Amino acid sequence: MRITRRGLLGATLAGAGAATAETILTEDGLHRQSWFLDSFLDLGPDLEDAAAAGKRFAVMWELRGCPACRDTHLINFARPEVSEYIRARFDILQLNLIGDLPVTDFDGSSLGERRLAERYGVRFTPTIQFFPEAAEGLGGLRPRNREVLRLVGYQEPDAFRRSFAYVAERIYETGESLAEWLSRPA
């Protein structure tokens, strides 16, 4: 396990029995799943590690006091059919929209979380950015063009899980939009 400020606190709280349904409240006030990625905050290697494990990489931006973020954790991730599906197929890195921790972007530049959010145009929480299966070439693209999908705001549990399926099954490669995919029967 990689030790980070969130990973260390999460391990401490989980060990103390303070976490329920795998949701942890971090020292910066964010709800966090115990199975979220512990990271050195270097996006390229995080994506490569996810790919080596047969998973996809996503970044989830949150903010202390965000009710939609809280509901994503306490409603969506609390459902086993949602959390088990996502956990098996994704590594999720949680970042704080107004945080100051240095994060190394795909192009090698290091920015605080807040500045990285600005670079990617992330303004609302929760926002989940999904990235391609490989980091190769991402550094040469404009930040917003590095994503294969972006979810903004709270999504109902079924739509939330199906949005992750849209990426896991690479439906975006067919040209079908997420809205079209979600309108089809599950």
pLDDT digits (tens, 9 = 90+) for 133-152: 999 999 999 999 999 999 99
- Whether the predicted pLDDT of 167 surpasses 80: yes
Is the pLDDT higher at 129 or at 28?
129
Write down the pLDDT at residue 127: 98
- Whether the predicted pLDDT of 13 surpasses 90: no
- For residues 105 and 170, what is the distance between their CA atoms, to the nearest angstrom? 23
Average pLDDT over residues 9-32: 63
Residue type, 10: G
Burial of 115: CB neighbours in 10 Å, binned 0-12, 13-18, 19+? middle
State the Cα torsion 138-140-143-147 to the nearest 10°. -30
Query: Domains in the chain and their CATH numbers?
Result: 5-183 (3.40.30.10)
- E strands present in the chain: 23-25, 31-33, 56-62, 90-96, 102-104, 110-112, 127-130, 149-152
Give the pairing type, strands 31-33 and 23-25.
antiparallel
The model's pTM is 0.88
- Whether the predicted pLDDT of 6 surpasses 50: no
- For residues 115 and 99, what is the distance between their CA atoms, to the nearest angstrom? 9
